[in-house]
Structure 1
Amino acid sequence: MQHTIKSLLLLLFILLVSAQPASSSKSVRWWVSYNFVDNNLSVITGQATGIYTYAGLSVNDSGDFNCSNSDDSLTSHLKPYKDAGLTVTPALDITNSSLTSGTALANVDQVTEWAGRQKEHGLIDGIMLDYEPTTSDSDWVEKYAAYIKALKTSLATVNVDLEMCTSAWGILDGHTVDSGYGIYADTGVNLMQSMSGTYFGTNITRNIENVELELKQGVSLEQLAVGIGTMIQDGCETGPGKWDYDWNEENLRAFIKEVDDLGAEKLVIWRADIDNEGDCTEEYFLDVAREWLEE
């Protein structure tokens, strides 16, 4: 009798667990300015799982890391996002000289020391490498991959993710070396976010080709993040967008459906009004972001 009761309880537990809706693995993160925190939150709340921002992180020619903002400033500008349940990932820039000379590689521990401290304070979840050199020199690809791998390994010791931007030009595209995007994917970097390869709605066929190339060359679905630039409503009192990303609701939804069909789980949205943030993001971007998270 006791055995029968235990079996029935176990069966009931299994049925209850199986009846729970599966949690979505999809995410939407927004690029926002360091300032305008209240505005950023008012625009993206309900349509975001995290943010990227420029918090003054850099590596100079000597390989030394610096953050131009004080700890108090970081707390006041980043903690509101964490309090809202969002991930926070500040961008890091490095100089060309620090990469090619190896000084950045030699000093990854400086980045890790800072990142670990901010992680302990509950302010950040990761670091985004936003390094955009114009060269297509394959030697730079090798050096950048080595730097990414070393920094990823170092940051993992303090439980901080490392992410990177890719693009459709220079060493950030999939054409400079034989392994293409794979040389970066193999570093173990947590996420690879496309910029110009998918930001514009001018040619979504080409956008999809860029996404497919990343997957073909070894970028995992876990690493893949598809970037999109927003459109700003005409007559916005804070001014037009920084760039015209040439989207409309029809081609945006068509593109999103195609990347969804490819198995993509992560969207990254760049605010075209990042420098003069207002409340003029076209509503269909907010709708698409919210619907992506509801799937």
Structure 2
Amino acid sequence: MNGGPSGFANAPVTRTVIIISALFSIFFGIQGRLNSLDVFGKLRFWKWILSIFAFSSTPELICGLYLLYYFRVFERQIGSNKYSVFVLFSMLVSLLFEVLAVKFMKDRFVEQVSSGPYGLIFASFVPFFLDIPVSTRLRVVGFPFSDKSFTYLAGIQLLLSSFKGSILPGLCGILAGSLYRLNVFYIRKAKFPQSIASLFSRFFSPSMRSSRAPSTRNAVGNRPFYSAGRQAERNYPAPMQSAVEPSEESVATLVSMGFDRSAARQALVHARNDVNVATNILLEAQSH
């Protein structure tokens, strides 16, 4: 399983997060050995921002950027607007958990809390574990692996990169992702107002304007990533009399979610090449 089409097509928020994280890490984190624990003791807003985005070492930066890039598939699935809410929620909630944990376990974690977007990365592992199916299984030296195993290994590498210092923000990220999954405060239904979304679309890239429209139609039942639950849209468009050949990009996006290639192509034909509607069809077929 891969992250879908190469590059940042339909993933402008992910691209912006990666660029900011890379720049902040290079200029502030790696050079200055930024430690998020320093931020907790001093209420300086700009240092809080740095601690959220800047990794403190090169191995963490490489592994973290890879995972952020891989998880762009979720932005493509739910749309940039809702994904922006998920990014903001997971980062702020995980940071809050870190602050509380440091206050209660200060002696144990002094100068060992890693900085960087751990909250967003490990919050993304919640839908990755629950919603992304395994499409390929294999055995390596007698041990069972799947196409998801390498992503888990990268996550474990990042989680243990600084031992206690990285485990704490990683666990806080998983808690934040679980709260989003549980729809605390109905957060999964939240969207940025149209005025703010328009401002973001100009900031991120023109491509966000095109990716924003599908997000309003993302109603894919209970199983896909943080979907709309019981309000699943079942009025799929009927197949056109002259079948439209699905684009390779759409097929690759569905395959990256774990669906069979031939089934994905057939669903796209019925959905008139609409990836969100095709996802609905495939998930409902699996549930029967």
Band the TM-score falls in, shorter-chain normalisation: under 0.3
Normalized against structure 1, the TM-score is what? Answer: 0.25
Larger helix percent: 2
Normalised to the residue count of structure 2, the TM-score between the two structures is 0.25
Which of the pair has the greater relative contact order for Cα pairs under 8 Å at 6+ separation?
A: 2
Higher strand content, 1 or 2: 1
Structure 1 or 2, whichever has the larger Rg, is 1
